[in-house]
A and B are shown apart, each in its own frame.
Chain A
């Protein structure tokens, strides 16, 4: 089956913007500002896998400071009160929300995994059989935040040979 990549950086931005409007910046004071800087660094990341009509990974990555700020906003607590467990849970939920929204844009027949969280830079996780196809890179109050999509090479080969 040939599957066009139906999700681009603008779509990712719209999804992430909704998360900011709903939970992280309801007042509209500190939005995520896209920079397009693919090389920006991260300190923590989370991901969900999608299999079926499209196969690959959706990865959320940020600095530790941005993850703590997100956890504080999600859990309605002060940044100084945020524990590693809070950061882990919130990162997992962020990957789940963005991954679920990505899945909704894919052709029918895609399955979403439960999220995985790694408190280390996204470069620490390798996806040997997948290639980054698009991503949203930005700054939130000066802290790096990104969402990237990695497509399985087998999936890409299917497209080429279809």
Chain B
């Protein structure tokens, strides 16, 4: 005999995940699953619960409190009840529970669930910190080391359960931003665990080369490493190459372009699914959650692919490794002079009538590149004198100065510099562009190889 399943009256997809309790209420009221009397009863109960929580919040010492505080406590109550209601697979069951049980009880159950979630989130954070994936992406490291740990001490599960007192910068692939509070942090850590699990199939060296080839400033960028790696890995599958290399040669990209251009949207999506399956077999990925998370990239990736094929910019999606970097030149800076001495030198330079005297002082007194850049921005060199000073410098000094200049990719470079600094930056750029090409090339090559070493 066939089992007939009743169609749920409330579709869970219609419900707001961050305001679950309220949207269940609204939806059930709209669909007449709750009578007016029942609805009002729930409202009165929530006010009573609020009064109780407020009493607890003020320790019974104050009969009144600010409206904002009361609203926040109310929101926290709704959030906690919402967490309990989410534990039921379908929303219709939630309505039944709302009718049968007092809100106080649902609130209590919600608190128990939150305590458990906090415990598992703590464990997940430890797992992420020790799972062996290492990167020098700053957002990732900041989030894991300094952003999330304070959450566990600052989170107020009683009166502000809906707050997320964590500073999370590293973006996830398909981040569920509609969640808040402990739910968000737990989901973030679970997803991050999955992403790292996937990344650990690849060598750190290959990942770093991929990121470097994606952008020289990858350390400072807010990028999702998983997404970049997975995309290139899928492309490797398409060109029948071992995916752990991650590299897509320009020729291979051309081949992919020819191949993919012919496909319709649906075919492209199917193609991506096939590649994903093949990749899972190749890397022996059996974790269903990871497979599901990997598959979540497909809708977005297929749209991006389609777009880049139309605009002939496939190189921004399938990344080719840049040539091996030149042997780096490690630069260790000389000691900076103390402020007192620096000021007296600036005064001395300012008083000089001829630029030749200024150059003589700079050559005699300045022994570190930071001091030199400070002098350039120190209101003591004017107009054409910059040019004369740049002319007196060798290739290495110019390259070092150039290295200190903001590049187009540096985020918000504009706000970090004073007008004076911007002035010498512009003048240096103009000076360099006027040099003969071979010297320009030499200096720019030097810039690429210099690595500032921290003292």
Do A and B interact?
no
List residues of chain A with CB under 8 Å of any chain B CB. none
List residues of chain B with CB under 8 Å of any chain A CB. none
